[in-house]
Every structure is written in structure tokens, then in C-alpha cells.
Chain A
Amino acid sequence: MGHVVIKDLFKSYIERRATRRMVNSDVNVHKGDRLLVLDRVNLEFQNGELVCILGPSGCGKTTLVRIIAGFESLTSGTVLIDGNPVAGPSSDNIFVFQHNGLLPWMTVWENVCLGLRHMKDKAELATRAQEFVDMVDLTGFEHHYPHQLSGGMQRRAELARALVVNPEVLFMDEPFAGLDFLTRLKMREEVINMHELFHKTVIFITHDIDEALIMADRVVVFSDRPARVRLEFELDFPHPRDFHIDSELEEIRRRVYSELGVHYAL
């Protein structure tokens, strides 16, 4: 399962910085002010959907996903996963972090085994861990430390660590940020393949519109802060996708770009 319902979600927080970093246009924000981050967000993600969340940076995408994952509290509204309100972080919903979330003092193997540490049968544990290490092509690197791996390999190891616990929902917060162009394309492919194989609900934050259009089953576009859902649509196109061939997809792409203020998307 992995059915996510978000109803009338609001999130605001009290400004703690005396001088805030300049994001967008809110110049007149003072220490102690209440800042609205999420403004009545209503969304529903079906079980097994790959959802891409788009929006300008600093708009509150990460906050939304952190609330769904249980890392942050909400101000009002409800977030249900499979009908149950989110109470806090849990190994049913694994978060893949924006920057490297592998524990640097553990080898790839030890990191992948984190979620399996309660398994009684150690032989079964090893088989399962090995299966996922092999799946992300890290065979032979089990005893390497994260800092000995390339950026792409680190992300793959983290993906293996997340998938090995068989989570209901997988959260990915700009997981490909900082990867080089080719590695990024390969990682997209990897996530799409992984998604077709496991059919988990994946909530994927990105600011790359093309990435969202190539990967997602559903795309949600947020406005500037306070984040409101500006555009939401399903993409029922088979993989692999190509804008240059599929004119319908190309049309959607133009619309999203134009909605985000870019009129000559190439």
C-alpha cells in the first residue's frame, strides 16, 4: 500500500532569524512574525504512483514532503497514509535525502543493513542485502565507505538502503542534485526501472521540469511561497518518453514552462 491523502494542509512557522535570507519578495518580515509556508494544500496520490513535485526554490516543497514523512509537524489539516494519520518518522516511509544521507562511518554494506537489523535470520538478512546491493550495481563495493564512492554510486547505495526495507512510500528530495549530467540521466532511468519493478509510491521533489515530465505518473506544480497547488496533472505515457517525438507531451511541457514564467522552452 502507499495511498497518500492530504486534506486542507496549512503550515506556518514563526520567523526566528532577525535578518532573514532574501527569498522572493517578503522584505517586510520581522523576527517573531508568522510565515505561511503551505496554503490549503489538497492532494491525493494513488498507491504505486511516481509523483513529481515541481516549484520554485524556497516555495515549501521540501516542507510538504517532510510533513508527509513525519519529520515536521503541520499547523492544521490532515495527512493520511493508507488511512492513518502520520504520527512521525517510520521505516514504512523512507526518505532519500537531498545531500548524502549515507552514514559516513559505515560501509555500503552496513548502511544497506540498517533497516534489516531486526531480522532474526542472519543468513536471510545477508541474502536480501546482497540482492539489493546487486540491484543497484554496487557488487564488489560492499566494503567501501561512502567517501570512497562517486556521487552516483552514493545515491544508488542510498536507494538500496531505502528499498531493502520494502517501504510503502519513498520520499526523494532532489536526490540527483549535484550529480553530473550523464549520471543524472542514468539515475532517472534507474529510478524509473526500480519503480516499474516494485510499484511503490514515490514522491519525488525536483526543480527540473523535463525530469518531472520524463519520470512522473503525476506532476504537481507549486506556486511561490506560500505554496499553493498551481497545476496538477497525470501523465499516462509509456516509458521511455521523448518530447521530440510525442507532440502531446511536448504540448504539456510548453504549458508547464509557461505556467512557471518561461515562454520559450527549448
Chain B
Amino acid sequence: MMHDKTRRLLLSLVVFAAIGAIWELVSLYSGWSASVFPSPRRTAVGMWELITNGTLLKHSVASLFRVTAGYYLAVIVGLPLGIILGWWKTGQVLFNSVIQFLRPISPLAWIPLAMLWFGIGDKPAIFLIFLSSFFPLLVSTITAVNHINSLYFQVAANFNFTKFETGSKIIFPAILPDILPALRISLGIAWLVVVAAEMIAVKSGLGYLILDSRNALRMDYVMDAMIAIGAIGICLDRIIIQLNKIKSVSWGSV
């Protein structure tokens, strides 16, 4: 088991090393200038600067804060709303077309309105992240509730469950195995959107770092920010995958 894990880690590191090598070769022989296509070494030096002077940490924390706030908001609103709409069929009929109508509108299309409504700072960015993860979460929760085996509701009725008990002891645990992938995907989307959201209206975050470095023509910093985004994205995914290990969820994968 342990051996298998090490092997997998090593193999993926090999691929990363190969990409690095190709990158180095391209930067050496393509003839592009370092300000257009920085070499891995230049990028590494830039990374060291960003880490040591604290810039990278500051911007990462700012981005993570916005993602966390917007994402939590989406979970707190989206899950209960999804459960209610999944359960209350009339409500589902009422709101389904509105949800389907709003869903394909990219969060980025909301940027002008978000800035107008929430001004400058964290708020519009958090709002955009909220929008980006709210709809996927809402829709998958509604679908998950619709797909609950009706047998479980009969068991609930047979044991005289109250509405609240049916919600907390039947619906919520029943949809968890379906919800975890949705939580994972929407966290990924939130992390995608934060970069775009930070290119407007804020003076911090990894998105801002990219924009700012571009204006300063520091393409090595742009690449460093991209590397940081990728690395943090992997970490977030790893963290949320841990939820699958909860014991009362494991039935879903059988």
C-alpha cells in the first residue's frame, strides 16, 4: 500500500520533471526573449523572491479567504435550498426554469453588476465565487434528493418520523454520497473563478498578482502565480476528498 503510494508519487514527479526539461529546452533554443518566455531557472528565482518577501503568501491568503467565504456561503445557502426544492415538488416546478435560466450565465458576466452593487474590495469577488459554486451545488442537491430511493421515505413514515427527522435522518445522509462529488467540483470552480474575480476591483490575491506582474512585464512572476494557483488547487482537492472517508458515506460507493 505504502509502496504503491510512493511509486505513484514518483511517477507523477517524473512527468513534472520532464515538463520542466522541455520548458528549459524551449526557452534555450526558441530564441524568445526572457521577458516573453521566462526559463524555469528564472521562474524559480522569481518564486524564491516572491516567497521570501512574503508577497506570495499574502496574495494566496487573500485568494483563499475569498474562495472560502464565497464557497461556504454557497454551501450554506445551496444545500438547504436544494433539499427544500428537492423535497417540495411544487417549489421545484415553480423555480426550476429560473434556476436553469440563471445557471448558464457565467459568473464573469455578473462582474459589472457585482462592482456596481458591492463596490470595490472583497465583496464583489466573494459574490462572484458564491454564484459560481451556488448553481452547480443547488442543481446537484435537487437531483440527489429526487433520486433518493422512495423506500427510505416509507421507512420514515412507518416509524412515524417528523418532517425534521425525515430531513435530518433520511434526506441529508441519503444525498451525501451524491453531494460530495458536487462539493468537490464546485470548489474547483470557485478556485477557477477567484483568479478572474481578482483581476477586477481588488488589490490583492493571486489574480491581482498575475495582472500586476503583467503590467510590470514580469512574466516570471506571472508563471509563479500560475504555479501557486495549480499547487493550491491540488491541495484543496486533496482536502475535500478526505470527506469520502466518513464512514456513514461509504455505503454510496458499494
Contacts and interface: CB of A to CB of B under 8 A. Distances in A.
Interface of A: 69, 71, 88-91, 93-95, 97, 99, 101, 103-106, 114-115, 145-147, 165
20 contacts: A71-B154, A71-B157, A88-B157, A89-B157, A89-B160, A90-B158, A90-B160, A91-B158, A91-B159, A103-B155, A103-B169, A104-B251, A106-B173, A106-B248, A114-B155, A115-B159, A145-B247, A145-B248, A146-B251, A147-B251
B23 interface: no
Contacts of A95: 154, 158
Contact of A89 (B154, B247, B250, B252): B154
B159 A114 contact: yes
Best-buried of B152, B158, B248, B251 by chain A (most CB within 10 Å) = B158
A147 B254 contact: yes
Contacts of A89: 154, 157-158, 160
Nearest to A95: B158
B145 to A, nearest CB: 15
A232 to B, nearest CB: 27
Nearest to B246: A105
B155 A101 contact: yes
Nearest to A88: B157
Contacts of A91: 158-160
Given A90-B160, A91-B159, A97 B170 contact: no
Nearest to B161: A114
B84 interface: no
A67 to B, nearest CB: 13
Nearest to B160: A91
B74 interface: no
Given A145-B248, A145-B251, 13 more contacts: A88-B157, A89-B154, A89-B160, A90-B158, A91-B158, A95-B158, A97-B154, A103-B155, A103-B170, A105-B176, A145-B250, A146-B251, A165-B159
A147 B248 CA distance: 11
Nearest to B253: A147
B231 interface: no
A120 to B, nearest CB: 16
B78 to A, nearest CB: 21
Interface in B56-90: none
A86 B29 CA distance: 85
Contacts of A99: 151
A105 B251 CA distance: 6
A128 to B, nearest CB: 15
Contacts of B160: 89-91
Contacts of B185: none
A3 to B, nearest CB: 20
Contacts of B247: 145
Contacts of A90: 158, 160
Nearest to A115: B159
Nearest to A97: B151
Contacts of A165: 159
Nearest to A145: B251
B249 interface: yes
B220 to A, nearest CB: 50
Contacts of B173: 103, 105-106
Interface in B158-207: 158-160, 169-170, 173-174, 176
A234 to B, nearest CB: 29
A105 B154 contact: no
A150 to B, nearest CB: 13
A97 B149 CA distance: 13
Nearest to B254: A147
A71 B156 CA distance: 11
A97 B158 CA distance: 11
B157 A105 contact: no
Contacts of A104: 251-252
A93 B154 CA distance: 12
B34 to A, nearest CB: 57
Kindly name the residue among B174, B247, B248 whose own CB sees the greatest number of chain A CB atoms within 10 A.
B248
